[in-house]
Each structure stands twice: as C-alpha cells, then as structure tokens.
A and B are shown apart, each in its own frame.
Chain A
Amino acid sequence: MNFEEFKNLVFNVAARKGFDDCELFIKKSTVFGVGVSKGKVENYSDAVSVRISFKGLKGDKAGFSVSEKIDPQSAEFLVDSAWENLKITDSEDKELIYDGTGTYKELEPATDLFEKMSVSEKIKIARCIEQEALSYDPRIKLVMMSVYDHEKEEYYIFNTKGVQKYEAVVGGDSYVYLVASDGKAPKRGLKVKILSKPDDLDPKQLASEAASEAISQLGASSIKSGKYPVLFRRDAFASLFSAFLRMFSAEHVQKGLSPLKGKLEQRIASEIFTAVDDPFLSVSPVKRSFDDEGVPTSKKAFIEKGTLKTFFHTLKSAAKDKVSPTGNGFQLKGMPLNVHILPGDKSFDEMVRDMKTGVVVIAMDGLHSGVNPTSGDFSVSAVGYFVEDGAIKKPVEQVTISGSFLKLLSNIVEIGNDVSLEHSFMDIPMAFYTPSVLVNEIDVAGM
C-alpha cells in the first residue's frame, strides 16, 4: 500500500467515523551513520522508517494519533484512537486544519550526493578522522568515537482542505569525541561539523580542531567565584540559546510557561542583538517551505535590535492570539528552523582583548536540567579559559555559570564577526548560524 492509497483509506474511514476534516503528516526518514573507535566499526545505523501522524477535526476540537505501520488495521487504529482522544479533549483553544491559501517558496531539490557515496567510503572518512586526531599529538590518547552521519527526511502532508505537499531535507554531520591526557586529569575534545554536502567536511581540520581543544584544556583548574565578563564562543552560545528557545513558543507564552508573556514589542535584549528565524538559510542543510501543519514558512527577525517582534506560532496559537500563522508549527510546537544571529564587527581575539579580565566559555553541560525556560534562569557547568590583561591565561574547569537568560541577552556588549553554522542542543533538525558574543557580567561559581 503506498502513501496515496493509505491516505485515501484513512480519509474514508475518518469521514465514516464523523470527523469534519482530517490531515495526514508523514515523515519518512532514511538514515545512515557510522561510528569508529580504534579503527573498528562500533556504531552503525542504516535504516528507513516511516511515521504517520493523523489529526482529525470535529467542530473546534482535534484528536491525534501516530502509527508506524501502513495497513488497513493501522488506518482503523489512527482514526479510532484519534476519535477517542478528541472526545476527552476539553481545551477551549480552537484547533484548525490549514487550507493551503498561503504562498509557498520554491526550494531547490535536496542533494543526492550523500546517498551516492559508498558505505566503504564513509567508513574510510570516519577512520581517517580518528587517525588524524591520534597523529595530531601524542597526548591524544583515545578517540571515543569518530562519526559520519547523513539523513534524508521526506515530508508529505495531505488534508481534506486540499493541501497536498512534499519536500525533502538532506543533511549530514560529522563529529569526533576524543580524550587528551598528560598523565594527570584527562580532558575531552568534541567538534561537530554540520554538512550540507559531503564536500563541506575537511576530516583533517575537524580532527585537529577537536585535538587542539582537548590539549588546550590540559592542566585546567577552577577559578575564584565571582562576577566576570563572559565571552561565549559561538558554538557555546548556540547551545545555550537553543536550550531556551521554548520560551519563544507562542503556546508556551499563552499557557503562562514563559517569562516573555506580555513582552511583545518590548526591549528584551541589547540593542546590538538581532535574531532571525530563516527557514531558507543558504548555508544550512535544513530548509523547509512548509511546516508540519502545511503552513508556508517565512523568514523573520524575532528579536530586532533588542526588541521582541514575534513568537513562534502554530495554527492553534496564532488563532488564539488573532495573528497570522508564522509557519513555525514543527512537532506540534512553535519552533524556529534556523536561528541566525546577525554578526557584529569584532574578531574573537579583539573581544578577548576588550574583556580584559574574564572567562571564555567554550562548552557547557547540564543544559537539559540546569536551564529553566519557564523561569528564564540557568545554572550550568562550563569549561573554557581564564582571560587576564586581555589575553587567554589558562584553561578553566569545574565552574558553573548562573543567571537569567533575559538579563544575559540585555548584557551583551559585543558581537563577533566569526559567524558559523553550529548544531543545536535541541533534538530536532535545526541549526544555529551565530557569532560569539560577549556578556559584561555573569555569576561564576568555582573555588
């Protein structure tokens, strides 16, 4: 049974059941990944899977269901369980199905270059990265994992209001996670490279960046607790920002789960700070012309020169706020696709010089537990460097940084020109295109 036949079957069953309108959103994922350690393949994944989401509408209410099977029993399961789910739903928020009247941007077809590479070629790249890392310096003792991944996600949407669309997103990533040791405390190095096409990867460069970072951390120590200027390296800033993205979701704002309630058109960040949601960002492999509800996506600044301009809307939250949908209905939440922080004009080194005494943060841990998008507070562990007299003096470990994320955004004093594509901490396909940022004061706990 193909998707078209399955859709017809489900829509017939749904109409019989009594739904007014319904929609099928199908995600077909084709994933490949290989992880190598000590030259041996340890992690390897090669798979095709399908996930079918059903939404059925009756009046203002909706019922939802998901199946990974395509057969007549699954059609019954989808419709029957959504119907039962709809019956218990008593939220007053109006549910909708999109009518397809917006204008969709035309995207270029996704690349097939990853699929054309042979398996042995990909294993070779993963082994090559490991070798390059180990030969970089004798203090690189172990490569925990050297990985080459790529994925094709195909999205199909059909609904009874006439929307029928398809598009594919293809991207890859490669990372190496290694350990350096000088006989004392071991230090880790992790570098991730997001790939729009296979050519974007330079295995030697990836390996040497991870290796040099781990070595630069050897001999790290804590610092005295206090308030310091903090320079977030671009990848660290991407991680922290992504962990707070939920606060920009309109549904969370409406439900009183975000500190941004009532702050539209107000200043929430430093006036040098602009953040854009760009679903068509040329450097990112993740580009979409419609969201998971079939709504056209759009490029927009959500923070412009420090002012909050919009939340990320689903159909439901847009209707509740009486605004046009923004095309951010991904996985039933209002989320951006690519966050582009507009660069400033300082180089990373100039910012180190400008901060005089302070901390450079290159990585954080505990973002899933130490970040609270409802209160807006964070308290997470960090590693990086201590800066004195405008120069990096020593590696730093065993410190935490704490504060309010909105205060942090307001306290941004310089933005770098070192913008690059960084991965998000969130477990959804999205990317950050961001420079490093300097914040004038953050609480650091150490000794």
Chain B
Amino acid sequence: MLKESIIKDVITKGLKMGADFVELFLEDKTSTRLTMVDGKIDTAFSSKDFGAGVRVFSEDQQVYAYTNEVTEKSLCEVVQRLIEALECKPRSFNNLDLRREKIDSAHFTLKLPFDVSRSKKVEIMRTAHHGAKEYSELISQVVVNFWDYDQNILIANSEGLVVEDRRIRTRLMVSAVASKDSEQETGFYGPGAAMGIEFFYQNEPYEIGKEAARIADRMVKAEYAPAGRMPVVISNGFGGVIFHEACGHALEATSVAKGASVFAGKIGQRVASEKVSAVDDGTIPNAWGSANIDDEGNRTRRNVLIENGILKSYLVDKFHAKKLGVEANGCGRRESYKFAPTSRMSNTFILPGEYLPEEIISATDYGLYAKRMGGGSVHPATGEFNFAVAEGYIIEKGRIVKPVRGATLIGKGSEVLEKIDMVGNDLARGQGMCGSVSGSIPADVGQPTIRVSELTVGGRNK
C-alpha cells in the first residue's frame, strides 16, 4: 500500500526528532450502503475512504494526526508537526530494520463484497422486506439497510513491524414499524459477520426481516413496562450488552490506567458473583468483532476477563500497557485512520452456566424478562450504566404472562455483577456497533440467559 522506503523515511524522521515510538496506519476502504424503504431502494451509496494516521509517543504523552494526502512529503510534515507539539529533543538514530509479518487469515471469505453485483444484494434486501411485511398486517413500514465493506490496512511502527490485513464485513439491518390505532412501535434485528455475502447462506434474510417485524408487532400490542426495582431475566445473545456496558468498558485500559475505573487495582480480587466468567475473544472465525490483528498490529487474542467471579485481566493497548506495567493484549482498535487506537472490546461474552433458560424463568416469582435488548451506555468512572429493553415481558409465578414496552434498565456495574444469581447454558452472541474514544467499531456481545436478582426498571407508574 505504501513503499517500504517511504515508511522507513517517515518513521526514521520521527525517531531522529526524538520520538520514543512512531506508528503509521494506512487505510483503503471501499463500502456500500443500500437503503430500502417500503420495498424500494431509496438511496444507494458507495464510498472510498482513504488516508493515513501517524501516532507518536514521547515519554508518557501521545499525539495523533491524519491526512488523506498519503505522500512522503505530507507524512513527513505530519510527523514534524506532531513532534513539535511534544517538544522532543533530537537524538541520533541509525537504521530502522523493518520486518514484514505475514498474516494467514483466520477469517475465510468466499465472496468479496465487490465481486457480488448490487442486484444480488438488493434481492437479499427484498427477501428481508417480505419477511417483515408478511409477518403481520400491523407492519406499516419496513426499512432495510445493507452494509458491506472491504477494509485494507497497513500498520508499520518504529519497532520494525510492517503488517497488512484485510477485513471484510457484511451486515443486514431491518427496522420494522408496527402501527395500531394512533401508536407506532419499532422492532430491529441486524445480524452481521466478518465475511462476504455467503453469510446469508446460513442466515435467511426472510427470517431476519420476520424477527424485526415480530418484535414491532408484539410491542405495539404491549402495555408500558412498570417502574421500580425487580429481578430481571435477560435473554441470551444481544442481552450480553449488559456485560459490555456494566463491566467491559470499565476493564478497558483507557479508564483503568487513570485509576478512573471501579475495577482499577482489583486484579485477582472478586468483582462478580462466582457464577460469572467472561471473555473477550477477537479470534473467533468470521465473528463480527474479530480480526487477525488489532489496529496496532498485534495478534488478536482470547482474553479471560473474569473467571468464577475473580478479575483476571484488563483490555490493554500499547500506550496504556506501559502505564500499567503489563503487556498489550491485542485489543487496540479504531474506527478508521481518523482515530488513534485504544483498548476496546471485540467479541465479549459471559460463559455458559448450568441452567436451562426455562429453569431460570420458572425460578422467578415476579420480574421482567428482557428478551431483546437495545443499546446502552456507561460511565466507567462511576459504573453507572443504562440500556434499553427492545422486547420485554412480565414474569409472574415462574411464567411469562404479558409483553411490556418502553423499559430501560439502569444500575451500577460493580453491583450488578454481584447480583447475577443464575447463568443459563444457552450462550449466543449478537452484533452491534460500539462507540467510544476511538470511534464506532463492530463488536459482538453475548451471554447465555442470566438472572439479575435486582435492577431498576425504568417504566411508567400505575
């Protein structure tokens, strides 16, 4: 993607000016976004993102800059500006020995996005549209989005590393609107993977559309969720967003290194109920949040975060590794060349336990069953999190009795982990976009069905 001699010159310039570490990140990404409204393609977009980012460390400071003029002259100017900002002292430096690392992709792709015609993609969207529309006569609108991309990156740094990788991703997102009387409710389902259009060989577009419609149809008929504290059973798959928000973000070195996380200094201590074990695994073949290497050029890994309630590891990027005195563990990620990488989650999930999901529900006298979760957010410093319940039900005397809509769950991360008192055996993952300091990135969340003995449910008062 860029001549090795240019890479060498740019990095050498930085080192000679006094930088401790210099990194180049090059990106060439082509993507397609198609939007179908009411069964017709409304807008079709193709884009080419292209640029380079340069990161420099000096002592314990970090600076970043980017440009889409990827020439030796422009990159050298960028390095110069960065180092001037850090006020480094020049030093002598002889020869940078670059070694090219080879990647054998663990994420096999059968069909590249641009080898597949748009009409084939439209066909998939149309099938999803029908799946939603035909589910119920209450479905008043269906919006289908198809997104795929082919991202080629090159990472080179002053430790001599040069490595290239290619990430292919495909996702189908269906939003269905159900209308009844004067009310409207929505349902969303959006699975995706790190593979090409062959993703739909196993994930029927019709079923994807139907699932979005099922949620909308069920929710428009539901009453509003009650307000107050109660036990909450959270379904498998995207339900794992609770761990992602309540705990995952606070395990990122970005918060931990500042002492700003409730989990700082707690390695080896009990931070969760002993029923809880959780991992972050960026190596799962073709998973939405997987990659061969992270955006700092390190191999992705399976990191055990919590084992039987004991905190085992943080998610550590290169910059914060030094501050924490540990090794970076393959989780430095970024949205694009416009962001400096930092510690982020990839595919994060709670490991399966012993109960059948129906046993968890039948053991619950009264509470909320969150079958489908929406997104959420957290303040790692205080642990306060929130997330939306996209499809909820009331449990009474061990049975699901009625659907409820509009619920939000809130709590504090450290407390909720202690309150997980039942863990099911039905582990599954769901796909989402995770937004934080280094941008919006694909991430899987996951868990088996779990029960939290008490959470505040935001709803309406009788």
Q: Which residue of A lies closest to B140 (CB)?
A: A256
Shortest CB distance B394–A (Å): 15
Q: Which residue of A lies closest to B229 (CB)?
A: A447
CB contact between B384 and one of A81, A365, A370, A446 (< 8 Å): that residue: A365
Shortest CB distance B231–A (Å): 15
A88 to B35, CA, bound (A): 11
Main secondary structure of the interface of B (DSSP, over half): strand
> Which residues of chain B are within 8 angstroms of A85 by Cβ–Cβ distance?
34, 44-46, 118
A398 to B260, CA, bound (A): 20
A377 at the interface (CB under 8 A from B): yes
A225 to B64, CA, bound (A): 47
Shortest CB distance B126–A (Å): 10
Q: Does B260 lie within 8 Å of A77, measured CB to CB?
A: no
Q: Does B62 lie within 8 Å of A257, measured CB to CB?
A: no
Residue-wise interface mask of B (371-409) relative to A, using a CB-CB cutoff of 8 A (1 in contact, 0 not) = 000111101011010111000000000000000011110
- Which stretch (B15-23, B148-156, B182-190, B278-286) binds chain A? B182-190
CB contact between B458 and one of A81, A368, A374, A400 (< 8 Å): that residue: A400
Q: Does A369 lie within 8 Å of B387, measured CB to CB?
A: yes
A200 to B62, CA, bound (A): 28
Q: Does B386 lie within 8 Å of A381, measured CB to CB?
A: yes
Q: Does B228 lie within 8 Å of A374, measured CB to CB?
A: no
A110 at the interface (CB under 8 A from B): no
A142 at the interface (CB under 8 A from B): yes
A257 to B78, CA, bound (A): 45
Shortest CB distance A357–B (Å): 15
A444 to B227, CA, bound (A): 8
Which residues 81-108 of B sit at the A interface, judged by CB distance below 8 A? Answer: 81-82, 84-87
Q: Which residue of B lies closest to A445 (CB)?
A: B227
> Which residues of chain B are within 8 angstroms of A48 by Cβ–Cβ distance?
67, 69
Residue-wise interface mask of B (347-386) relative to A, using a CB-CB cutoff of 8 A (1 in contact, 0 not) = 0000000000000000000000000001111010110101
> Which residues of chain A are within 8 angstroms of B228 by Cβ–Cβ distance?
225, 445-447
Q: Does B408 lie within 8 Å of A142, measured CB to CB?
A: no
Q: Does B458 lie within 8 Å of A144, measured CB to CB?
A: no
B5 at the interface (CB under 8 A from A): no
> Which residues of chain A are within 8 angstroms of B322 by Cβ–Cβ distance?
none
Shortest CB distance B131–A (Å): 19
Q: Does B338 lie within 8 Å of A49, measured CB to CB?
A: yes
Residue-wise interface mask of A (31-50) relative to B, using a CB-CB cutoff of 8 A (1 in contact, 0 not) = 00000011011111111111
CB contact between A41 and one of B86, B375, B382, B459 (< 8 Å): that residue: B86
> Which residues of chain B are within 8 angstroms of A187 by Cβ–Cβ distance?
382
Shortest CB distance B265–A (Å): 14
Q: Does A91 lie within 8 Å of B40, measured CB to CB?
A: yes
Q: Which residue of B lies closest to A190 (CB)?
A: B379
Q: Does B227 lie within 8 Å of A255, measured CB to CB?
A: no
A123 at the interface (CB under 8 A from B): yes
Q: Does B65 lie within 8 Å of A47, measured CB to CB?
A: yes
A38 to B61, CA, bound (A): 10
A81 to B38, CA, bound (A): 24
A387 at the interface (CB under 8 A from B): no
> Which residues of chain A are within 8 angstroms of B119 by Cβ–Cβ distance?
88
B181 at the interface (CB under 8 A from A): no
Q: Which residue of A lies closest to B59 (CB)?
A: A40
B202 at the interface (CB under 8 A from A): no
CB contact between B141 and one of A82, A179, A255, A370 (< 8 Å): that residue: A255
> Which residues of chain A are within 8 angstroms of B411 by Cβ–Cβ distance?
398
> Which residues of chain B are within 8 angstroms of A144 by Cβ–Cβ distance?
258, 260, 381
> Which residues of chain B are within 8 angstroms of A63 by Cβ–Cβ distance?
44
A170 to B458, CA, bound (A): 40
Q: Does A88 lie within 8 Å of B41, measured CB to CB?
A: yes
Shortest CB distance A388–B (Å): 19
A291 to B379, CA, bound (A): 36
A85-B45, A179-B260, A402-B458 given; 8 more Cβ-contact pairs under 8 Å = A41-B61, A46-B81, A77-B46, A366-B387, A375-B183, A375-B184, A375-B185, A445-B461
Closest 4 A/B residue pairs (Cβ) = A400-B458, A445-B227, A369-B375, A85-B44
User: What are 9 pairs between A and B in contact, CB < 8 Å?
Assistant: A45-B340, A88-B44, A255-B141, A365-B386, A380-B408, A401-B458, A443-B461, A446-B228, A446-B456
